[in-house]
Structure 1
């Protein structure tokens, strides 16, 4: 009886196109083909990651603007925020549109787009490489869920460190008053380096790593768990063959679960990123001065209560579910299409 080839757990498990057989059993010509296939798959990984990130960023930018405005507002949201600048998602969107115009809902989009593309390319490439390495590591090979979580956490943390200066610029462009502050992303970088030094470009990095590590690890882990069940149900060989609505649903659910776990650290990161920049945002209410994660946590709870740590949660959950689902779904579909074309 012919031996049935085992089903691949993910398309990333064969990223380098290497056989489990000993290299000496391969013909030289086959190794050349495998080397070319490895480079092609890595290129497809980066192209799919960057493209899916760019599309997702454009679609979700208005929700990101709302989230940042809510996170930086010290005044209460909801019914208690009678005199607050922003009170809820609909009212905030209308206010921004009336006072600043429709395009303001995409304020900071250019640096955000650069951030998303670089982040998407580096995150998925690093993740795929780590997953391949984990296949050949005894402990990680036998603990797939932990391996997926660890690979996602390291990939997300590394990509965050790479893109942090762009994230700081994006946050400040969204937060600043109209006709105040920076006139462009490039001038923002120059000004920050001149006035605050390199450290200014990495404000909020620690809280960001604390947030992104477990969040991205959870994202990948939940998504892979859901994927394996869906592949069995639909009887397909890999995620790229699943219906688009299923990929979107799995990604959205993974995003909602992971974001809820680490949201307070995202709020703290945003508040740390505007330190030293408060003079350019006076039209949105009071500003908080804090110079570390612990102090920022303490002041937030002291002035706004524990609920203050979850300001902006509504647009964040909408954005996170929508953005994660779209990002993962597009990545798998684009990767699958590129593989078929090649």
Structure 2
């Protein structure tokens, strides 16, 4: 998947693709890097860190219109029939459509060997790295009253109390662990599937224009062209995430949140680059106040040779 043009474009604008679009990935979700391909969701960082005052809680913009013309309707490369239909069925199940509706539209291995995807009606939920940094600088852990210019925790106290902490906080408090906090998500309630044979020739699908209710869930299916079917559900699924990398450094017996990643970590780091007009980047939200006074802004860089995060593990989901 790392060579897919759609995934590569998402990566170029700072997003990681979610292999199976899903709910439950929201801004300020704290995740821990399990290995180079998996992030484990721990919960909202608001559940672990309290702001010094309520006004320091990061603001989240929801259902924002995406301002990137290259993203709307961006089509993926071809996927094999088995893998492609697995993703389609996974999305439809989250829409509440549990019937094997693809067979009704002519999706069978005898006729369809490859599929492509695209997302429409894309929206974004977002906070900013600046607000997140301010929140961490002035915050305190939910079970410790100490706070200062940076979040600092006495390591001796950690050793004494660690066995009494729930696993989510126990894991947070050990140094040199790489974490990520979601700052932006891309989501859609409408996706299109294109069908092809093994020679990349379009397969004509018998797709009736339908609109109805299955198991109490509204859905729509329509035909864009002879080989394309579009599904629209009543919920938005996240297919791309932008994350802010964090790690915890021990200094003088204290643990401090740091932005970026340790130099020896296999993960993400922060990098400064020139203003957007010379960067070759199409900002999704030019009105966001992420540009620093010196004309620099933060770009997330994947150090894993361009490979996207393939899956985000959400509690309760396989």
TM-score (norm 1): 0.27
Could you say which structure has the higher strand fraction? 2
